[in-house]
Structure 1
Amino acid sequence: MDDLTFLLVVSSLILSFYFILNRKFASKPLNLPPGPPKLPIIGNLHQIAGALPHHAFHDLSKKYGPIMHLQLGQISTIVVSSPQLAKDVFKTNDLALASRPYTLLGDIVLYRSSDVALGPYSDYWRQMKKIISVELLSAKKVRSFRCFREYEVDHFIDFIRSNCGKPVIMRDKVTRMINNIVCKSSFGDNCNQQDVLIELVDELGRLVSGFSIADLFPEFGFLSVISGMKSNLTNIHKSLDKIFDDIFQERKMKRLRKENAEDDLLDVLFNIKEGGGLQVPITDDNIKAIFVNIFVGGTDTSAMTIEWAMTEMMRNPNVMEKAQNEVREAFKGKKNIIESDLPELVYLDFVIKETLRLHPSLPLLLPRECREQCQINGYDIPVKMKVIVNAFSCAIDPEYWDDPESFKPERFEKSSVDFTGTNFEFVPFGSGRRMCPGIGFGVISVKSALAQMLYYFNWKLPSELGPKDIDMTESEGGVALKKIPLMITPTLYTSC
């Protein structure tokens, strides 16, 4: 047998052996959830185009079930729309689904996704999540910012008092109040460029609300360029970075001079960074990424909740009356309301819960990415698969909620259901490892502002509007902002 014949025989045997082994050990095809038919290239995008994503997904789930497989551009996506299956995501498979998919926003603005909201699951992420939960946004630390909140809420109430008898669109003032609280909690009074910072955060929110074409077609890198998204994000990043650099440099100089330590989040993070002992050392850029999270997550969400709560109370005068009676009975004769008074307001807690149920700020929550293949409801979830939980669908599931689309705060009177992540029919802040760590920081500001708005003022709609005439349309995108800002007229109830 010559060399060529021998080589051909050996090659044939090797190939035969390879195909036999490949057939024997080949993985079974994936058992993916059902879903609507897909078009080439765009997949299922045409079925959600022009609609609010959480409503579009909710409507599709009625036909294809509480777990669906969708193709959103180049991104293979699982959408979960029931509390029972949300539990599989948040609890049963929490670790397997603990990561986040890549986003252009995270890469550019969040310092290569070194934040906690959009950062991938890793040792670094676990460390930073613990720092935020234990050191930055613990109940004790949130209480320490009480003076900032009370000062800003008082100024907001003064604004309303000076406009009694006039129709007021409060959205901008409410947002400003919340931003001031976040700024002072973060940097004390050391934020000379606060107005620019707020504008940049607002612009960032508008840019990334909803689905980005660059993230839906990541293989087509040119889309982020021609759409202008990359340049816009880069410009915002550069501006934010310059502001943070200025604030950080000024603070470092104060620390070198050993001036009185600030009791704000920046000093806490500098102390942790300089103290050493961390598993993964952190940099100034990592700290900047955390502050972007705090500003984006801590401002618009609280402001939206206040506006939606007032909107629902104006639509439901009986709820408004009951909430006002509670506040006025609890604080009768008081000239000032302080935070230590707020636990008495149980019905107001129910109003806030019901507002978050029907109007979660992020109805689809933030997507997760599978890091270890797992199953949900018997269906395979492969590695890198994007998983979205529709918190809006869970919150109006008729199996869990009576008359689910009506605003009824009383439903919580004899219920232990809460938004702390253990009740999967009510997850406005998510659940599990990726749950939002800033719940306490946001909710106390919302409750304080609403309590004083109800205590000091009566409210009425423009004369041409009845309660049921209020437009409840949500703005386009992934954030459930009220499309038409609420306009109402305050009148002074008490001279306190």
Structure 2
Amino acid sequence: MADLARRLDTPLLYLQLGEVPVVVASSPEAAREITKTHDLSFANRPWSPSVRVLVAGGDAQGIMFARYGALWRQVRKICVLELLSARRVRLCRHVREEEARRLVAAIAAEAAQGKATVDVGERISAAMTDLVVRLVIGDRFDRPEEFLQVFKEGKKLATGKVSLGDLFPSSWIARLLSGNMRRAEANHRKMFELMDRAIKQHQERRGNVEEEEDMVDVLLRLQNQDDDLDEPLTMGTIKSFLRDLFNGGSETAVIEWVMAQLMRNPRVMQKAQAELRESLQGRQKVTEDDLNNLRYLKLVIKETLRLNNAVPLLLPRECRETCKIMGYDVPKGTTVFINAWAIGRDPKYWVDAEEFIPERFESSAVDFNGTDFEFIPFGAGRRMCPGMALGLASHELMLATLLYHFDWELPAGISPSEMDMTEEMGVTMTSRMKNGLHLRPIVRVPLKTAT
């Protein structure tokens, strides 16, 4: 789509995907009009048949897919002030540090067993999933393994191909032929049953001041403060909150892409590791305090987000009312995507746009906070990702830990220029490496305090 937009020299593309009218914006100017000038007109999320499964027909709207209105404003406020606030990010740093150390221990154990390579993406995904489960439902749930299994099955379904039923939402035959959708419905029911159990256990243990407050506790506390809420916090909303926190918080594609870009660019890898090891001076573990000194690693992450954003088209928006974008009429009900992948590679705004050069951000004021529309990996406007701070904190720590404790080699016979960087996108619109990232870890700094 990026190539087509450039050939036609147009900021907007109109596509008819089955029964679904779609507009794709591929320029910073178009992105600005959608997320700032006309932000309110594009504040909805489209509800495809797959999304309707997730929101239980509207009874379980979370932060990701809630329709714009009083409920969405309330759940957004809860995210910003409670669940994903700067204070809560600081409070849960010890959990992130523990899971980062466990990741190192797991990879070191595989290396000690003589395995030729490690599936880096699989290892990171397992670590991040464990982290999110601890942050959201804590260590008190009595069926964590079953929960993890159901959650992982759901992630696999979400990374599959686009459903035929989503392209032809009015056709019951298309929905009938969409086997993935039926499996998603079954997985959704099982996930909500386990959430019911977790919530019940939290309710029974409430009032124990010695236990740390996890995200389920926060939501139950707010539910009991009903007089302070504009909209009632139903159990359906609480469970959808939890589902969205699991799905968003466990996304690891960015970490995998950073590792892939570092392997493809040995100069950058050497510079990033040198910064780390010089800063830590042989200490046994990386802590979040160390991240403040890792300026180059932050540039590496920004450059990866520019080239390999985990959600290349961002989450879709729906036009709530007919309006004009860049002089074109966009009808009410149109699904709108912003091609952040194309914008991040546009040579009009980026010198050597296809090259991986973290140093381009050294003297640049461009940031991903949603105000520089040539660089919006987390979106912009009302529907910008509310979990950016927590996600960045987790990603930076995991990456710093991997680069500090290990040196990394490609499989025998593969050079950096021969790496397979093919992307694959699933129904959740997330992009990951199609064939995974398999590397050989060499322990450089042993972790004696791993848990």
TM-score band, normalised by shorter chain: over 0.9
Q: Tell whether 2:12 aligns with 1:61.
A: no
Residue equivalent to 2:135 = 185
Q: Tell whether 2:329 aligns with 1:385.
A: no
Distance between the aligned counterparts of 2:435 and 2:180, measured in 1?
Answer: 26
Q: Tell whether 2:102 aligns with 1:158.
A: no
Distance between the aligned counterparts of 1:202 and 1:214, measured in 2?
Answer: 23
- Per the TM alignment, residue 406 of structure 1 is displaced from its structure 2 partner at its CA by 1.0
Change (3 A) 1:366 1:291: same
Look up the SS of the partner of 2:51 in the other structure. helix
Q: Tell whether 2:217 aligns with 1:272.
A: no
Structure number with greater Rg is 1
Residue equivalent to 2:289 = 340
Q: Tell whether 2:412 aligns with 1:468.
A: no
Distance between the aligned counterparts of 1:140 and 1:259, measured in 2?
Answer: 19
Distance between the aligned counterparts of 1:307 and 1:192, measured in 2?
Answer: 31
* Paired residue type of 1:115: G
Is the 1:304–1:481 Cα contact (8 Å) retained in structure 2?
yes
Q: Tell whether 2:179 aligns with 1:225.
A: no
**Structural RMSD (CA):** 1.7
* Paired residue type of 1:330: S
Distance between the aligned counterparts of 2:151 and 2:432, measured in 1?
Answer: 15
Residue equivalent to 1:174 = 124
Is the 1:308–1:355 Cα contact (8 Å) retained in structure 2?
yes
Q: Which residue of 434, 440, 443 maps to 1:489?
A: 440
Look up the SS of the partner of 1:459 in the other structure. strand
Change (3 A) 1:258 1:327: closer
Residue equivalent to 2:259 = 310
Change (3 A) 1:484 1:230: closer
Look up the SS of the partner of 2:87 in the other structure. helix
* Paired residue type of 1:350: L
- Per the TM alignment, residue 381 of structure 1 is displaced from its structure 2 partner at its CA by 1.6
Look up the SS of the partner of 2:42 in the other structure. coil
Distance between the aligned counterparts of 1:322 and 1:395, measured in 2?
Answer: 23
Q: Tell which deviates more after alignment, 443-452 or 187-196.
A: 187-196
Residue equivalent to 2:85 = 138
Look up the SS of the partner of 2:324 in the other structure. strand
* Paired residue type of 2:275: E
* Paired residue type of 2:2: H
Q: Which residue of 434, 457, 460 maps to 2:406?
A: 457
Distance between the aligned counterparts of 1:147 and 1:417, measured in 2?
Answer: 31
- Identity among equivalent positions (%) equals 38
* Paired residue type of 1:63: R
Specify every segment of 5 or more residues in structure 2 that has no aligned partner in the other structure, as ranges: none
Is the 1:100–1:118 Cα contact (8 Å) retained in structure 2?
yes
Distance between the aligned counterparts of 1:428 and 1:196, measured in 2?
Answer: 33
Look up the SS of the partner of 2:21 in the other structure. strand
Residue equivalent to 1:319 = 268
Distance between the aligned counterparts of 1:161 and 1:211, measured in 2?
Answer: 37
- Per the TM alignment, residue 245 of structure 1 is displaced from its structure 2 partner at its CA by 0.9
TM-score (norm 1): 0.85
Distance between the aligned counterparts of 2:28 and 2:142, measured in 1?
Answer: 45
Taking the TM superposition and a 5 Å limit, the aligned residue runs for 1:56-455 are: 57-64=1-8, 65-113=10-58, 114-162=61-109, 163=111, 166=115, 167-209=117-159, 211-255=162-206, 258=208, 260-276=210-226, 277-300=228-251, 303-455=252-404
Distance between the aligned counterparts of 1:299 and 1:285, measured in 2?
Answer: 21
* Paired residue type of 1:425: E
Look up the SS of the partner of 1:360 in the other structure. coil
Distance between the aligned counterparts of 1:403 and 1:193, measured in 2?
Answer: 51
Is the 1:111–1:289 Cα contact (8 Å) retained in structure 2?
no
TM-score (norm 2): 0.93
Look up the SS of the partner of 1:371 in the other structure. coil
Distance between the aligned counterparts of 1:206 and 1:404, measured in 2?
Answer: 32
Is the 1:395–1:426 Cα contact (8 Å) retained in structure 2?
yes
Is the 1:105–1:208 Cα contact (8 Å) retained in structure 2?
no
Is the 1:429–1:435 Cα contact (8 Å) retained in structure 2?
yes
Taking the TM superposition and a 5 Å limit, the aligned residue runs for 1:31-70 are: 57-64=1-8, 65-70=10-15
Is the 1:261–1:267 Cα contact (8 Å) retained in structure 2?
no
- Per the TM alignment, residue 261 of structure 1 is displaced from its structure 2 partner at its CA by 4.7
Change (3 A) 1:408 1:195: farther
Deviations 1:180-238 (A, max 9, x none): 11011101102333333333333333434453321221111332123224422220111
* Paired residue type of 1:233: A
Deviations 1:87-118 (A, max 9, x none): 11111110111011112233222333411111
- Per the TM alignment, residue 349 of structure 1 is displaced from its structure 2 partner at its CA by 0.2
* Paired residue type of 1:59: D
Distance between the aligned counterparts of 1:158 and 1:425, measured in 2?
Answer: 39
Specify every segment of 5 or more residues in structure 1 that has no aligned partner in the other structure, as ranges: 1-56
Is the 2:80–2:386 Cα contact (8 Å) retained in structure 1?
yes
Distance between the aligned counterparts of 1:494 and 1:362, measured in 2?
Answer: 33
Is the 1:183–1:191 Cα contact (8 Å) retained in structure 2?
no
- Per the TM alignment, residue 119 of structure 1 is displaced from its structure 2 partner at its CA by 1.6
